[in-house]
Structure 1
Amino acid sequence: MTQQPFSRPGAIDLSALKQRPAPAGAPAAPAGGGASGSGGGRASSAYSVAVDEANFQTVLEASMNAPVVLVFHSASQVPESVDMAADVIQVANEYDGRFLAATIDVDANPQIAQAMQIQQVPLMLVILDGRPATQPIPGAAPIDDIRALFNQLAQQLTAQGIAGRHQPNAFGAPVAAVEGEEGAEPEVDPRYAPAQDALADGNIDQAVAEYQKLVDGNPADHEAAAGLAMAKVLQRTQGVDLDAARAAAAAHPDDVDAQTLVSDLDMLGGHVEDAFARLIELVRRTAGKDRDKAREHLLALFGAVGNDDPRVLKGRASLASALF
């Protein structure tokens, strides 16, 4: 069974939060403004919200059509976590609504931290459909690493046909995903709609064909190219037994087909650097047609992640070393 980049575990348990309404006439938490209660003077963002108990459920509901990235921070415990929260806001804003950065000051909102079982800060958690869609991502990270993470998530969203976007809330509009009129479908870029519809229907072969048309028509369409690369990963791993594939790769370390299959599975599981390292070592050990096949497969995975991703830049340097 293949690992999926976005999973659907159980809903978030909010029972630890006290069920008390906000005082009548109390203002809503500010939409935008970054990490609440700290970092004064930070520029607001069209795609961020400072979370408290009053709006937490609304923020979770906003994840029904597009991902929400929760960022837990504390100025008193880890001051640099506030800067990281601001970096997440900046990066989320670069994606024009594909993500909403939701910052949570655990000092001001300890009950949210308790309900979410947050043991340390900073910590990021991606929410989709009101549920955690990734494992928690602990620890401080430089902005380049945050961009790399968002890039990987965006590619996975494209490959899975998840196209919803959040509406900008720079002027204090309520946090909500773009739906237009009540009950309307999320806005979808019409160029990608056929491929994304095919993915939503589980027709991966059709999705590959639709992305291929886009790439053939415009080779400079990097999002289509990335979508094609990830759709091909899904295509190659359909029906694959993960344990059997890993056992075969371990038993046959120089079998190109076995190794490239596991690299695809690593990609789907979010283990991008492991996928790259496996193929780079395969290139180092092999020669002739086997080496060419491993190299070409690696280049395709580079395209799926994005050529500007720091992990790809590092991988290209390692590939050059393996080749020469």
Structure 2
Amino acid sequence: MAEANAWVIETNTGNFDRDVMERSDSVPVVVDFWAQWCGPCRMLGPVLEQLAAEYDGKFVLAKVESDANPQLAAAFGVQSIPFVVAVSDRKIIDQFAGALPEPQIRAWLDGILPSEAEQLVAKAAGQEENAPAEAEATLRQALELESDHSGARIALARVLLKLNRYDESAAILDELEQRGFLEPEAQKVKSALQVESIAEQTGGVDAARAAAEENPDDLELRIRLADALAAEGEYQEALDLCLSVIQQDRSGAGVPARDTMLNVINLLGSSSDLAGEYRRKLASALY
């Protein structure tokens, strides 16, 4: 077991963003607002520290002396102490006030900590880029524990796409879509799958570009080039090609060109400036 102080930190207003908010991206952080004069705080603090050691890294305990950090206490709405807040992914997910008995604190901790399946999904995220086969195995373990874990299913569809197992990836997305919706990340995987599947038929960017240049009036070849470019991450050129097709033949070749544009826009994500720019250009070209 790790030493108690391995998972316990003292923090303050100046270091809070680094110690708590940034750290909460990778592990839940339990923030204990306390004061030297507070009797219940002196009862609760050692229990939280003992549990931090026992849970051995499943959460980090960050202690904040409220009198020394009044602005931080005010920002969290602390009206009485002890006051305990759980932060995950930079968001408050739960809280309690007062010195609860240990069994209640354990139950509270178990409610805020990721399940074993969620821990496996997080592990797979670290494997996905350089070891997709290992990520697949990890995600399948997660799904054995929680077969309907949507995050694991979406991640598995993405990993299978990386492994060029398009049919298996599509099957998972089809199952997810039967619920009547797709999460943004699942929609992004679906768009990537469509781009990759079509691009596979083009023979790559060089072959698609040569064919399009040889037949400049063939709008379908221009769309195939756009698909090949999108599969290689050349998103802006792909979008410009599709836009030129729509402007030439909106109701004919412009229809598949629009679909390719939407796929690329979905791939870029809603926060992308490039996606926003070409979403506006597409709307202008269509309407």
TM-score interval w.r.t. the shorter chain? 0.3 to 0.5
Larger Rg: 2
Q: Is the helix fraction higher in 1 or 2?
A: 2
Does 1 or 2 have the higher relative contact order (CA < 8 Å, sep 6+)? Answer: 1
Q: TM-score, normalised by structure 1?
A: 0.42
